[in-house]
Amino acid sequence: MTSVDTLDQVSEILSHAEKKCVARGVRLTDKRKLVLSSLLQMNKAVSAYDIVDYCKKQLGEIVPAMSVYRILDFLQEQQLVHKLNLVNKYVACCEIACDHSHEVSQFLICSSCHKVKEIKLGKITEAELRRDVEEAGFKLVSPQLEINCLCEECVKASN
C-alpha cells in the first residue's frame, strides 16, 4: 500500500465521518478532523499525547493535550473512535465507512507495537460469554473485549 493510497483512504473515511456527523446534527470541526485524521494515518493504538506530537511534527499543527482529550471524547460518542482501556490508548473505529449500525467490537492489541485489529467474535462465543457472566451474578455492561496478542510481524521479529 503506497502513501498516496493511504491518504486517499483517509480523506474517503473522513468524508464518511463528516456525513455521519451531519446526519446526527453534530459538527466535525477542523480540529476534530485533524485528530481523527491523525489517528487514521497512524493506524495503531496511540495515546492522546502521541496525537499531540503527531500533529506538531507531521502536520505542523499545535493542539493542546486538553483539546485532544475533549475531541477524543466527542469522537467516542460519535462512535468514530474507541478507547482501549487495556493500554490507555485510542484507535479509529474500523467501521466508519460502513452504513450499517455499529456492533460491539473485540480488539486484538499487539503488546509489542500496539497495532490493533477490530474483529467480531462468533455468535456462540458472545452468547456464552454473556451466559457465563450472568451465572456469576454480574451483568454485562459492555461486551467489548480487549485481548493481549502479538501481531504477525512482531511474532516473526521475536524469533
List residues near a copy of itself by CB under 8 A.
Answer: 85-88, 106, 108, 110-111, 117, 119, 121-122, 124-125, 128-129, 132-133, 136-152, 155
**Contacts (CB under 7 A) with DNA, residues 75-104:** 83, 88-89
- Per the listing, cell 458472545 goes with 126
Cα angle 96, 2, 120; round to 5: 35
Q: Which of 6, 24, 64, 153 is close enough to bind DNA by CB under 7 A?
A: 64
Residue number with CB closer to DNA (74 or 151):
74
CB 140 within 8 A of CB 134: yes
CB 84 within 8 A of CB 24: no
Per CB under 7 A, the segment of 5-13, 59-67, 119-127, 130-138 that binds DNA is 59-67
Q: Counting contacts by CB under 7 A, is residue 71 touching DNA?
A: yes
Report the distance separating Cα 107 and Cα 121, nearest Å: 10
Identify the bridge partners of residue 110 per DSSP, sorted by sequence position. Answer: 149
74 binds, among DNA, a copy of itself, none (CB under 5 to 8 A by kind): DNA
Per CB under 7 A, the segment of 9-17, 61-69, 92-100, 134-142 that binds DNA is 61-69
Residue number with CB closer to a copy of itself (2 or 142):
142
Report the distance separating Cα 85 and Cα 12, nearest Å: 28
Q: Which of 30, 99, 135, 152 is close enough to bind DNA by CB under 7 A?
A: 30
Q: How many CB atoms lie within 10 A of CB 105?
A: 19
Q: How many CB atoms lie within 10 A of CB 46?
A: 21
Residues of this chain that bind DNA (CB under 7 A): 26-27, 29-32, 47-50, 63-67, 69-71, 74, 83, 88-89
